[in-house]
Amino acid sequence: MEKNEILNQVLSVFHDVLDNEDIVLTYETTANDIEEWDSLSHIQLVVAIEKKFKLRFTSKEIQSWKNVGEMLDCIKEKVA
């Protein structure tokens, strides 16, 4: 799956979980850029992404992400 396709699917998860269709994601986006992305919604996002892509992250992987792009790289690796 291409990284941009993953981005689009992740974006739909963000829209759904954060109840905001106006959210835009780029590879550089971080939690600081999205008001609704707090520590609790972060858990909901991770759970929803794990469900959507039928994969599992480790806590180490999650803690290592510096932005959305790194999260996408991690998903890409797992769905390859």
Interacting residues with other proteins (CB under 8 A)? 40, 42-44, 46-47, 50, 56-59, 61-62
Whether 37 and 31 have beta carbons less than 8 Å apart is answered as yes
DSSP type of residue 67: S
Task: Return d(Cα 38, Cα 79) in angstroms, integer.
Answer: 26
Nearer to other proteins, 24 or 60 (CB): 60
Nearer to other proteins, 4 or 42 (CB): 42
Tokens for 52?
């959507």
H helix intervals, 1-80: 3-17, 39-53, 59-64, 68-79
Nearer to other proteins, 1 or 43 (CB): 43
| Smallest distance from other proteins to CB 24, Å | 24
| Smallest distance from other proteins to CB 76, Å | 17
| Smallest distance from other proteins to CB 58, Å | 6
